Chains A and B, each alone.
Chain A
Amino acid sequence: MSARVVLQQADIARALTRISHEILESNRGADDLVLLGIPTRGVILADRIAALISGIAGTAIEAGSLDVTMYRDDLAKHPTRTPAPTHIPASGIDGKTVVLIDDVLYSGRTIRAALDAIGDIGRPRAVRLATLVDRGHRELPIRPDFVGKNLPSAQTERINVHLVELDGADLVSIDEVRA
């Protein structure tokens, strides 16, 4: 059971740069843009993309985090999860374009929870979704707007995203969990 590396550090950097350009293009600039990362690694990615977009557009854009634990539909099926903090930028999300950012998009249930959480915080003009890896197997009608890498996978496989800030290296790998 050895992990197969599918994205190296340079691949991740290129993917994030491309996503940053795509977000700017679809939003026609950096105005009224708020990035919300989903803990844990989505928050790191949101900060990186915010820095990239600020560099490209020349204006600082706001990034925060959105914890979805309290909105999950599978709380009773797992051991108790500890929530992570939510930080919404001070100017709020009303009338803004919110881009949700997560590391891996899988069943879509996390994003469903995130949409409910956003509804309780305010009313954005639009909500978009960016993900570093889309591994398929959606269980809900949810589709990402910005994708770093499409990674068709079997449900028995496991996708591991490592980021420098947390894991010491930038790396995406796949390994087989169940036979």
Chain B
Amino acid sequence: MRHLLSTRDLSRDAAIELLDVAEDMADTQLREVKKLPTLRGKTVVNLFFEDSTRTRISFEAAAKRLSADVINFSAKGSSVSKGESLKDTAQTLQAMGADAVVIRHPASGAPQTLATSGWIDAGILNAGDGTHEHPTQALLDAYTIRKRVHGSASRGKDLDGLRVTLVGDVLHSRVARSNVWLLTTLGATVSLVSPPTLVPVNTTGWPVAIGYDLDEAIEGKPDVIMMLRIQAERMRDAFFPNSREYSKRWGLDDGRLGKLQATTIVMHPGPMNRGLEISAAAADSPQSTVREQVTNGVSVRMAALYLLLSGDREDA
């Protein structure tokens, strides 16, 4: 793998390979010594133009567990605030010898630009770009679902036949987009439930069914229900009257939690707005995988870094 930019262009075999490597990585995290020498001497730069807690820490932990050197860069307090362009930042990193760049950027397509511009030779990992994609989040979601469904026999398995419902702010959600493509590639049937104002303008070609009624979706007995965060920071319009109204119609509250099948998995990519899109009881219930998702994130990102950085780069 040369770069990891989106899940849309990830083949089924490549996705399953990555999830299987993540299983091996997860096994090593149970050992007394969690650190592997695999990426010794490699430099991973976390290039974050947007705020992030779990993704940045997760990538940092993953790189460190593989013995890579990690340089953290956040746009705040850097020369970006002096007006430095992405090109100049990239060339600076190139001059310092970065082997991989993990980039989060408010502009959709920024990682693609880095990967194809020739400004930098490093492998590029998309850690979220605008409203485009967040591939490692979708991979860790797929990993979490696969692990819950297949248990310890999950190696090599896909998600054939599972029905996954994504609920909430699809319009602003790169997590939703990455999941739509990846989960479909892996064989799951994906449906979206969202206020009409938060459905993307153009969904032609999306392999999904779109609904507007959460209760109806719950009656359909989905295997997985994934609540998306209301991204207030990206909302420059009134997409719904107020948060109480949203919570009443599209929030996973205690009543709706009770109507779910006992086997339905409740997911949230975090950070959660408790009481808005998900109630505290739903977030902390045994059906919830919120914390597993965070744990699995480290293994999945270790796998991505390993597949990107090991091996003869000329062959990739």
Residues of A participating in the B interface, judged by any CB pair closer than 8 Å: 67, 70-71, 75-86, 116, 119-122
Secondary structure class of chain B's binding surface, majority of residues? loop
Instruction: Write out the residue numbers on chain B whose beta carbons fall within 8 Å of the beta carbon of A122.
Output: 32
- CB <8 Å contact, B37 and A83: no
Contact of A83 among B24, B31, B35, B313 (CB under 8 A): B24
- CB <8 Å contact, B32 and A86: no
Additional pairs, 15, CB under 8 Å, beyond known A82-B20, A86-B27? A67-B24, A70-B36, A75-B38, A75-B311, A76-B310, A77-B312, A79-B315, A80-B311, A81-B311, A84-B24, A85-B23, A85-B27, A85-B155, A120-B33, A120-B36
Determine the distance from Cα of A80 to Cα of B2 in the docked complex, in whole angstroms: 11
Given contacts A83-B21, A85-B155, contact A78 B27 (CB under 8 A): no
- CB <8 Å contact, A119 and B33: yes
Determine the distance from Cα of A81 to Cα of B24 in the docked complex, in whole angstroms: 13
- CB <8 Å contact, A78 and B312: yes
- CB <8 Å contact, B36 and A80: no
Determine the distance from Cα of A116 to Cα of B135 in the docked complex, in whole angstroms: 33
Tell me which residues from 9 to 35 in chain B have a Cβ below 8 Å from any Cβ of chain A.
17, 20-21, 23-24, 27-28, 31-33, 35
- CB <8 Å contact, B28 and A70: yes
Determine the distance from Cα of A70 to Cα of B37 in the docked complex, in whole angstroms: 7
Instruction: Write out the residue numbers on chain A whose beta carbons fall within 8 Å of the beta carbon of B315.
Output: 79
B61: interface (CB < 8 Å): no
Instruction: Write out the residue numbers on chain A whose beta carbons fall within 8 Å of the beta carbon of B33.
Output: 119-121
Instruction: Write out the residue numbers on chain B whose beta carbons fall within 8 Å of the beta carbon of A71.
Output: 36-38
- CB <8 Å contact, A78 and B311: yes
Closest Cβ neighbor of A120 among chain B residues: B33
Determine the distance from Cα of A119 to Cα of B37 in the docked complex, in whole angstroms: 12
Instruction: Write out the residue numbers on chain A whose beta carbons fall within 8 Å of the beta carbon of B312.
Output: 76-79
- CB <8 Å contact, A76 and B17: no
B218: interface (CB < 8 Å): no
- CB <8 Å contact, A116 and B311: no
Provide a sorted-by-A list of 29 A–B residue pairs whose CB atoms are within 8 angstroms.
A67-B24, A70-B24, A70-B28, A70-B306, A71-B37, A75-B310, A75-B311, A76-B310, A76-B311, A76-B312, A78-B311, A79-B312, A79-B315, A79-B316, A80-B306, A80-B311, A80-B316, A81-B311, A82-B20, A83-B24, A85-B23, A85-B155, A86-B24, A116-B37, A120-B31, A120-B32, A120-B36, A121-B31, A121-B32
- CB <8 Å contact, B1 and A80: yes
- CB <8 Å contact, B38 and A80: no
- CB <8 Å contact, B31 and A81: no
Distance (whole angstroms) from the CB of A85 to the closest CB of chain B: 6
Distance (whole angstroms) from the CB of A39 to the closest CB of chain B: 11
Instruction: Write out the residue numbers on chain A whose beta carbons fall within 8 Å of the beta carbon of B38.
Output: 70-71, 75
- CB <8 Å contact, A82 and B17: yes
Closest Cβ neighbor of A92 among chain B residues: B32
B198: interface (CB < 8 Å): no
Instruction: Write out the residue numbers on chain B whose beta carbons fall within 8 Å of the beta carbon of A82.
Output: 17, 20-21
B307: interface (CB < 8 Å): yes
Distance (whole angstroms) from the CB of B156 to the closest CB of chain A: 11
Instruction: Write out the residue numbers on chain B whose beta carbons fall within 8 Å of the beta carbon of A76.
Output: 310-313
Tell me which residues from 229 to 257 in chain B have a Cβ below 8 Å from any Cβ of chain A.
none
Determine the distance from Cα of A75 to Cα of B316 in the docked complex, in whole angstroms: 13
Determine the distance from Cα of A116 to Cα of B31 in the docked complex, in whole angstroms: 13
Instruction: Write out the residue numbers on chain B whose beta carbons fall within 8 Å of the beta carbon of A70.
Output: 24, 28, 36-38, 66, 306
Determine the distance from Cα of A166 to Cα of B33 in the docked complex, in whole angstroms: 33
Determine the distance from Cα of A177 to Cα of B199 in the docked complex, in whole angstroms: 60
Determine the distance from Cα of A67 to Cα of B32 in the docked complex, in whole angstroms: 16
Instruction: Write out the residue numbers on chain B whose beta carbons fall within 8 Å of the beta carbon of A67.
Output: 24
Closest Cβ neighbor of B308 among chain A residues: A80
- CB <8 Å contact, B32 and A79: no
Determine the distance from Cα of A79 to Cα of B314 in the docked complex, in whole angstroms: 9
Determine the distance from Cα of A90 to Cα of B112 in the docked complex, in whole angstroms: 45
Determine the distance from Cα of A19 to Cα of B312 in the docked complex, in whole angstroms: 38
- CB <8 Å contact, A80 and B37: no
Distance (whole angstroms) from the CB of B123 to the closest CB of chain A: 11
Distance (whole angstroms) from the CB of B18 to the closest CB of chain A: 10
Instruction: Write out the residue numbers on chain B whose beta carbons fall within 8 Å of the beta carbon of A85.
Output: 23-24, 27, 155
